[in-house]
A and B are shown apart, each in its own frame.
Chain A
Amino acid sequence: MPILQPIGRTFLAFLEATGRLSLFTVLSLSHCVRPPFYPRLVLRQMVEIGYYSLPVVGLTAIFTGMVLALQSYTGFARFSAESAIPNVVVVSITRELGPVLAGLMVAGRVGASMAAEIGTMRVTEQIDALDTLATNPFKYLIAPRLIAGLTMLPILVLIADIIGVFGGYVVSTQKLGFNPTSYLQNTWDFIEAQDVISGLVKAAVFGFLVTLMGCYHGYSSRGGAQGVGTATTNAVVSASILILSFNYFITELFFAR
């Protein structure tokens, strides 16, 4: 059966990869909640993920907010519905664009560097060295990154929300002739707690996914520089796809009636 063979092999490989990732996730989570903890490392990762991602996430947010106002104006002007722009900007940013774009940017920045760093540690035997020094690599390397990702992404997204709305505000008031006070008033009136909360929940999930993918692909990398390169690519690609698919499911969970 030469046709069935590759199908079977691919299916088995897929199951094996899923099993390995599930075990990795359970093991990582269990080490996040069991001592010993490494607060210094968690703090360092928080700075790495949160603080150093601020410029890239901020720039993404401001341009997204700006373009959103501009595009909605060209569309809505046809129906004389320009007054809906503050609503469209704030809801799009807080519900979808803030968390998804921040997640994707962090996947490119942080997920890739994590996979490369942990992958290099794997192929240069540094992870074996950790083990022989009686230090669990899951506790020392992976748990701090997961905790930092889980907590920092919501904070980043909250800041991105504010910057994104500000971007829309600047374009609307400076270019499209909106009244600043009524624009802000409209924004405030339209925004609901659920919009922001759903975005922050998404952010926490995305932060976890990005760091998990970075750690998993780095930790399981094999075979020198090429292996590390593959791990980095896989980390970014898988994190991006997971972000987009989880985004749909979380949206359905929050907003499908």
Chain B
Amino acid sequence: MNDSTDAKPLTGGNAAATPKGGTPKISIRGLTKVFGDKVVLDGIDLDIGEAESMLVIGGSGSGKSVLLKCILGLLHPDAGSIKVDGEEVVGLYGAELDRVRRKFGMLFQNAALFDSLPVWENVAFGLIQGQRMARDKAREIAQQKLGAVGLGEDVGLLMPAELSGGMRKRVGLARAIATEPEIIFFDEPTTGLDPIMGDVIDRLIVKCVKELGATALSITHDMASARRISDRIAMLYKGKIIWTGRTAEIDRSGNPYVDQFINGREEGPIQMQVRDL
């Protein structure tokens, strides 16, 4: 470990910021987002290749969720460009933005299921509302997707409030893949689950992404999960990407920030502001 290494953008890791070959599926340049006087994202550059599983790690409050929300157009960046399939998405709105959003599926941190709708309708939502599919056909697909995440037909009739944490995540996953999107985002997929259920969800994520041939972008601070689901990892610290590289190489990153994070140590360049009692 080289302690004198300062945090520089895109250092270490042979793969750097650009994936191997071809046009990137998602290309982010100079992405900046400011809340009040707090710079949350400070000129992010990141490329995600076709059918690649990219993962962003970083501490709580490092701007990981903001990054996802900017790409989805839920937040408007203050500067920078986001291209999906070469098309600029910053500044799109209305029907144009909806057209781009149809390429995406997202598994939210707490699943964000619609409480007022039964499980099957949650899963079929993108098909019925987004694609205007007939309800019967959408219901059939929803049951099939629920089956793919290991949930039976009876679960489809339950309301989200009746589900356990692990089931909610699985329904959320089924909803994310129901429209067979080209790109799927996973926001802390294993947070709040026991380790075994975490592994189950991770395996389902890998299976679904591979079967759909989708591009995945996940954010997490669970390193066990990170290793299982990703091809490449980027680390976000103080609004900048300070390291990117292949998942297999993360233990040899040579970056003290990454080393501290993946080993979960208190000592290191990342200092938590803790006062004495």
Contact = CB atoms under 8 A, between A and B. Distances in A.
A36 B102 CA distance: 16
Interface string B97-135: 011011011101110111110000000011001101000
B130 A135 contact: yes
Nearest to A132: B106
A128 B69 contact: yes
B101 A132 contact: yes
A129 B114 contact: yes
Nearest to B73: A131
A129 to B, nearest CB: 4
Contacts of B108: 125, 128-129
B126 to A, nearest CB: 4
A133 interface: yes
A132 B129 contact: no
Contacts of A246: none
B101 to A, nearest CB: 5
Nearest to A140: B129
Contact of A133 (B115, B130, B132): B130
A36 B104 CA distance: 21
Contacts of B101: 131-134
A125 B110 contact: yes
Interface in A125-151: 125-126, 128-136, 140
B72 A132 contact: yes
Contacts of A126: 112-115
A133 B112 contact: no
B218 to A, nearest CB: 15
A133 B126 contact: yes
Interface in B63-82: 69, 72-74
A185 interface: no
Contact of B110 (A36, A124, A136, A140): A124
Contacts of B129: 133-135, 140
Interface residues of A, number: 17
A39 B73 CA distance: 27
Nearest to A125: B112
A36 B129 CA distance: 9
B125 A133 contact: yes
B51 to A, nearest CB: 20
Interface in B164-180: 175, 179
Contacts of A125: 108-110, 112
Most B CB within 10 A of own CB, among A36, A126, A134, A136: A134
A134 B112 contact: no
A135 B106 contact: no
Given A124-B110, A126-B114, A129-B106, A134 B69 contact: no
B74 to A, nearest CB: 5
A227 to B, nearest CB: 16
Interface string A140-168: 10000000000000000000000000000
Interface in B41-92: 69, 72-74
A135 B125 contact: yes
A136 B98 contact: yes
Contacts of A120: 115
Nearest to B106: A132
A225 to B, nearest CB: 14
B114 A134 contact: no
A135 B31 CA distance: 26
A238 B121 CA distance: 35
B126 A134 contact: yes
A128 B109 CA distance: 12
Contacts of B106: 129, 132
Nearest to A131: B74
A134 B109 contact: no
Contacts of A129: 106, 108, 112-114
B126 A124 contact: no
B104 A132 contact: yes
A140 B125 CA distance: 12
12 contacts: A125-B110, A126-B112, A129-B112, A129-B113, A131-B73, A132-B72, A132-B74, A132-B101, A133-B129, A134-B99, A134-B101, A134-B130
Given A131-B73, A135-B129, A135-B130, 12 more contacts: A36-B132, A121-B115, A128-B69, A128-B72, A128-B74, A128-B112, A131-B72, A131-B101, A132-B104, A132-B106, A133-B125, A134-B130
Interface of B: 69, 72-74, 98-99, 101-102, 104-106, 108-110, 112-116, 125-126, 129-130, 132, 175, 179
Give 9 closest A-B pairs by Cβ, nearest first.
A134-B130, A125-B112, A129-B112, A134-B98, A133-B126, A135-B129, A132-B106, A134-B101, A125-B108
